[in-house]
Structure 1
């Protein structure tokens, strides 16, 4: 089973705007004490990657929805069990669900978002638009 490591560092203001709140402090609140899966966000020159730790779920349990610049990740799993004996029937129902919404920056190309679920980790790739990608330094000729 994979473990995700949460790194503490000062978050630039554009990342705070990307998530709506200070993401790294938000996980320390009681609201995130197990009811919502842990999330890692990694930025590269090419874009962002969101990793959601959600073991025990199937790919079909997830829904990803992009509306304007709002990416909503949700999952719902329902488990039923029934045990019958001579004079009794016991039924148990268990429901697990969560929903997270991220406000994406304008630099994300919404048409190229991809997702993959493997080994209990949902990975969502959010590529940057070409014009938003960091360009290499170049020397400018003086005419």
Structure 2
């Protein structure tokens, strides 16, 4: 059995209670999230490296891809919904699922060969060493 909320056919906003309007707003927002998984990403910098942390709960490291092309670092993957098992049926799912891709343009002063990544307890950590020899060029105006 699947539980569904009954929506009254009256579409007149003035006749709706405030709580009904809020329920519709948040239920629509939550149901839209299910097919649109966007992981939270933190980017920080130390004196000698850039650090990227991505929250990817419930994912296996085999489901995550990190690539670098033309100075653009991309993180992609897919978080799949758990299938019904042992007679268990879900009546409400608020967890976001689906495929995602996040890309970031790296600055010029990084050592692309030094990029390393680790994944533990749903947290992907990427570290990128800075390359002090790579500096922006000054262009003289003629």
| RMSD between superposed Cα atoms in Å | 2.9
CA distance 1:48–1:84, change in 2 (3 Å): closer
CA shift, 1:118, in A, is 0.6
Q: Which has the higher strand share?
A: 1
Look up the match of 2:21.
none
Which residues of 2 match residues 52-63 of structure 1 at below 5 A? 52-63=54-65
Instruction: Choose 1 or 2 for highest CA Rg.
Output: 2
Closer, same or farther: CA 97–49 of 1 in aligned 2, 3 Å = same
Q: Kindly state the Cα deviation for residue 96 of structure 1 after the two structures are TM-superposed.
A: 2.0
- Indicate the SS of the match to 1:55: coil
Task: Report the CA distance shift for 1:84/1:126 in structure 2 as closer, same or farther (over 3 A).
Answer: closer
| TM-score, normalised via structure 2 length | 0.57
Question: Is the CA contact (8 Å cut-off) linking 2:58 and 2:79 kept in structure 1?
Answer: no
- Flag structure 1 segments of 5+ consecutive residues without an equivalent: 1-29, 134-143
**In structure 2, what is the equivalent of residue 74 of structure 1?**
76
**Cα shift at 1:132:** 5.4
Within 2, Cα distance between the matches of 1:120 and 1:83?
23
1:39 aligns with 2:41: yes
Q: Extract structure 1 runs of 4+ deviating beyond 2 A.
A: 77-85, 130-133
TM value normalised by structure 1 = 0.57
In the alignment, the residues of structure 1 paired with residue 50 and residue 82 of structure 2 have an alpha-carbon distance, to the nearest angstrom, of 37
* C-alpha distance in 2 between matches for 1:73 and 1:64: 5
Q: CA deviation at 1:95?
A: 5.4
Count of residues in correspondence between the two structures? 95
Q: Does 1:50 align with 2:52?
A: yes
CA distance in 1, matches of 2:113, 2:120: 22
Displacement, 1:42?
1.1
